[in-house]
Copies of this chain bind each other. A is one copy, B any other.
């Protein structure tokens, strides 16, 4: 099989297993077994298990990193940011799962990323919470981010791996509602 295809298949298999069993819970033998080869064959395509994880996440994380770069300079609204997050998660159910549910794996490759995963989350929350946020605003920012990730994953499962337009709108609306400062009822 041509090397590029095999490399791609390894990445697909790894994405699925990492999402299901976690990164540390998945062995090289698991991947090789699914691929139908021995573990040694894997090392022709990737120098290490970590390299597979990086090969999987580097692209999406660079995209996300660029998104964050555009925040300071640009005119992005929270809605733009949440939409972008939803679309990134929608790109791959597996990657979104790893990103959302395996922080330990992310931390393991932090040093080889353009910025640390903690930093990216912090910047995202800061952008969602707005300038000089109080505790309530920070809580709402966390809520909105959680919705964008978790509800997108749920929608992907409902849609058989694809995110329907109506579902995307529903996720975004839910995230925006959780982000919105509730209207205070004025004292009578």
Residues of A within 8 A of B (CB): 21-22, 24-25, 101-104, 135-136, 138-140, 142-143, 145-147, 149-151, 153-155, 158-159, 166-167, 170-171, 173-175, 177-180, 182
Contacts and interface: CB of A to CB of B under 8 A. Distances in A.
A159 to B, nearest CB: 8
A158 B182 contact: no
A146 B89 CA distance: 15
Contact of A104 (B22, B135, B179): B22
A182 B173 contact: yes
Number of this chain's copies in the assembly equals 2
Contacts of A167: 135-136, 139
Nearest to A107: B21
A125 to B, nearest CB: 8
A86 to B, nearest CB: 11
Given A145-B150, A158-B135, A178-B147, A140 B170 contact: yes
A149 B146 CA distance: 9
Contact of A175 (B170, B178, B180): B178
Contacts of A159: 135
A31 B104 CA distance: 17
B101 A103 contact: yes
A178 B145 CA distance: 12
A179 to B, nearest CB: 8
Query: What 6 pairs across the A-B complex have the smallest Cβ distances?
Result: A146-B150, A142-B154, A22-B104, A143-B174, A178-B178, A143-B151
